[in-house]
């Protein structure tokens, strides 16, 4: 998933997203430059979006039972989806994750996860949603 995320972000930086990768060496150089480009000191957490605001099925009894069963199978007390909104180098991104609780300590279990699946997000977009697509999810939704 992490490699897919990097590829998506790299392709967004290319002038023509439909161009084919014909020169492997050039691609590797572009990929390396893209990985080193962000100024992570500029990263700012803006807030969170409630999963229930993004998809009405998230809070359904069936989905909550599914999340509880997944948590039980790995010995966690609960599993929930979270959506963080952050800015990096002046661009706004969304981070979709499923997190699990082990004795009051929270850990990321899945990049993307349950909510991404409910929203029908393409596998390569599950996790970090880049700026050109953020508006599809939160233009009218309150960030907490």
pLDDT along the chain (144 residues), means of 10: 63 53 66 67 87 93 96 96 90 92 95 91 79 74 68
pLDDT for residue 42? 78
pLDDT for residue 17? 46
pLDDT for residue 121? 85
Cut 0.85: pTM above it: no
> What H or E segment, with its residue span, contains residue 10?
helix 2-13
pLDDT for residue 129? 84
Q: Give the length of the chain.
A: 144
Domain residues of the chain, as ranges? 1-37, 43-138
> What H or E segment, with its residue span, contains residue 128?
strand 128-129
pLDDT for residue 23? 61
């Amino acid at each position: 998933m992490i490699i897919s995320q990097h590829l998506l972000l790299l392709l967004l930086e290319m002038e023509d997203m439909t161009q084919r990768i014909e020169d492997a060496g050039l691609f590797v150089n572009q990929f390396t430059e893209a990985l080193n480009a962000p100024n992570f000191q500029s990263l700012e957490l803006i807030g969170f979006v409630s999963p229930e605001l993004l998809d009405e099925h998230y809070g359904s009894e069936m989905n909550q039972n599914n999340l509880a069963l997944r948590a039980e199978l790995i010995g966690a007390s609960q599993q929930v989806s979270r959506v963080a909104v952050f800015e990096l180098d002046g661009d706004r991104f969304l981070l979709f994750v499923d997190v699990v609780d082990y004795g009051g300590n929270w850990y990321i279990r899945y990049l993307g996860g349950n909510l991404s699946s409910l929203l029908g997000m393409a596998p390569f977009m599950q996790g970090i949603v880049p700026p050109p697509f953020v508006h599809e999810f939160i233009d009218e939704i309150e960030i907490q």
